Structure 1
């Protein structure tokens, strides 16, 4: 496979896609464009892209593949701009945004001109952002959703899959409606709930000054996704509003039912509420990536004494195992282990677990 790949948006996702393509097709020319020209230049220095392009029209009109990797609302605006260019006849245009229906609808201005547009959503991410965080293995074993209009041939979809084979992702073809509803259930709606839980805690902070310290354990973990980019999630929420509004209505009804059970001290009803949730949650896949990017944490049950962190991290450093974060937990309700170490991926976590099992007698937990 040969040709020019034009990537619009050189953040974590765009940069990681560029690296995965370079791995599979070193002879393909990867051209990068970003509204921040410093980012484009940095991507070139890091060898994420082969060439910098500061002229959007020039880059788009000379591309065989165009990958739009910017926020949802900006993606729609970019599609509008691309519709005014003289794109190559056989070009494939795709995106990486987290909602699909509004983008597929907007892309009709391209498809009506005979330009192939295939919506995409690689369901992977990282705690880090920007082109410096880009990794060629970011999407490995993650689901990569493809959505298109019915007139797009299987041949063209397979062509895009072939281009992206270096991601080692699991491709799924879904309609835009299916995609938005499922990601609404598993990703968009949970982000709202996590943010609301944090907001509720914040309202009590003045009354209970110790609240933030007590929240440092399990509460902080179950609300991690509330730390996601506010601008991005505002876009996603608005663009998937019908699905989210429907889920909110159902959620409100569920909460009313639970409220009623608590008021009536309905032990059996409350027990069923918790047992059904536990059963379904315990049956969810552990080692695969889903709609919300995974957290690769290892809990180590060590005594809290001076030097314990340097001891553990020293063992990992000797075996060149990288960590992204490490902390002693003060509040550990429902969490085993006083020390939590975070890793970039499952492989690093597994290597760390083996390392510490061989070097120490501490108990290790993956939750």
Structure 2
């Protein structure tokens, strides 16, 4: 039976979900809608969708599945709009948002009318954005969180949704909205706030130390990469998960006060244990698994800093059709071997690049 899939929001995530569904279920018809008509046209030209809807109502009323892939505040508004439409009684609605508690609270609008809503959050991203960056395997081996409404039996509908999304090749995990928001708050939302605050703290000293910005090009820039994320998206996330974040901030301040007292008292052993415990836990984290924050697969190449070296390296990689996401010469190299850092989308791309450069150059290669 040919099913209609309606995707609302045709950016990186929505586009990638659409491509994965079409690849796994070629007989489905994927209808797309985006508030920016040019983006919807682009998605159709790129064959991310089969056709475009002129309005949410036009695409939703005949849909078998509806996927909301838009910012959280917009998602909640669209959910209110969908709840007023004559949808199919068998339709399954899901989203791709980074917080779930407020979304699942809004889902009561559907549940009271016998319509299925299952929260969703594919935990993968990219350094690129927009429908042009959409990839069929963006979510491969990533965790895909599903949050069915509590105190309901939706096993059959959850299985239907998993079947639809099988082409993402994700690892599906079912949990409550509270569990989702607490874990993503700890591992993603709070770290983004910390990274942004570290950057803001450094910026305050810029006028005092003009050299600061150049020195920050090394390790500081690396540990604060996530501060370059979309500010609109992170404003939405922060406000929608504020209860969790406020609790984490309280605990963080208590932890910093303990460290402060250790420093005041010159507690060598306690300070050492603080760093040792962090190292032990961090070193035990999975290396090849996609987590809440998307990974950076970097390769460091120890090359002389001379004109043409970047074009030489990228030329070799281009010949073997290896895609890179970023490349730059490092001016400061504290704790880093290699002056040239190349970033890749996947670990497979990085491994292929290592083989390529080992075969073609005498440069030393390092993975941090």
Q: Tell me which interval the TM-score lies in, with the shorter structure as reference length.
A: over 0.9
Partner SS for 2:336:
coil
Residue equivalent to 2:252: 251
In structure 2, the CA distance between the partners of 1:232 and 1:152, relative to structure 1 (3 Å rule), is farther
Partner SS for 2:300:
strand
Distance 2:119 2:2 in 1: 22
Residue equivalent to 2:2: 2
Partner SS for 1:30:
strand
1:184 and 2:188 aligned: no
CA shift for structure 1 position 303: 2.1
Matched ranges for 1:347-362 at <5 A: 347-362=348-363
1:80 and 2:80 aligned: yes
Report how many aligned residue pairs link the two structures: 367
Distance 2:162 2:365 in 1: 39
Partner SS for 2:141:
coil
Partner SS for 2:125:
coil
Matched ranges for 1:110-121 at <5 A: 110-121=110-121
1:138-192, Cα deviation, whole Å (9 max, x unpaired): 0000000000113142111010000000000000001001000000000000000
CA shift for structure 1 position 64: 0.2
Residue equivalent to 2:281: 280
Residue equivalent to 1:147: 147
Are the aligned partners of 1:31 and 1:50 in contact in 2 as well (CA < 8 Å)? Answer: yes
Distance 1:307 1:71 in 2: 42
Unaligned runs of 5+ in 2: none
Residue equivalent to 1:324: 325
1:52 and 2:52 aligned: yes
Residue equivalent to 1:221: 222
Unaligned runs of 5+ in 1: none
Of stretches 25-34 and 311-320 in structure 1, the one that deviates more from structure 2 is 311-320
Distance 2:286 2:362 in 1: 29
Distance 1:305 1:58 in 2: 58
Matched ranges for 1:1-367 at <5 A: 2-149=2-149, 150-367=151-368
Q: TM-score, normalised by structure 2?
A: 0.98
CA shift for structure 1 position 337: 1.2
CA shift for structure 1 position 335: 1.6
CA shift for structure 1 position 305: 2.3
Partner SS for 2:299:
strand
CA shift for structure 1 position 264: 1.1
CA shift for structure 1 position 306: 2.5
Distance 1:103 1:198 in 2: 31
Of stretches 288-297 and 356-365 in structure 1, the one that deviates more from structure 2 is 356-365
Alpha-carbon RMSD: 0.9
Distance 1:249 1:114 in 2: 40
Partner SS for 2:253:
helix
Q: TM-score, normalised by structure 1?
A: 0.98
Are the aligned partners of 1:116 and 1:152 in contact in 2 as well (CA < 8 Å)? Answer: no
Are the aligned partners of 2:99 and 2:237 in contact in 1 as well (CA < 8 Å)? Answer: yes
Distance 1:193 1:30 in 2: 39
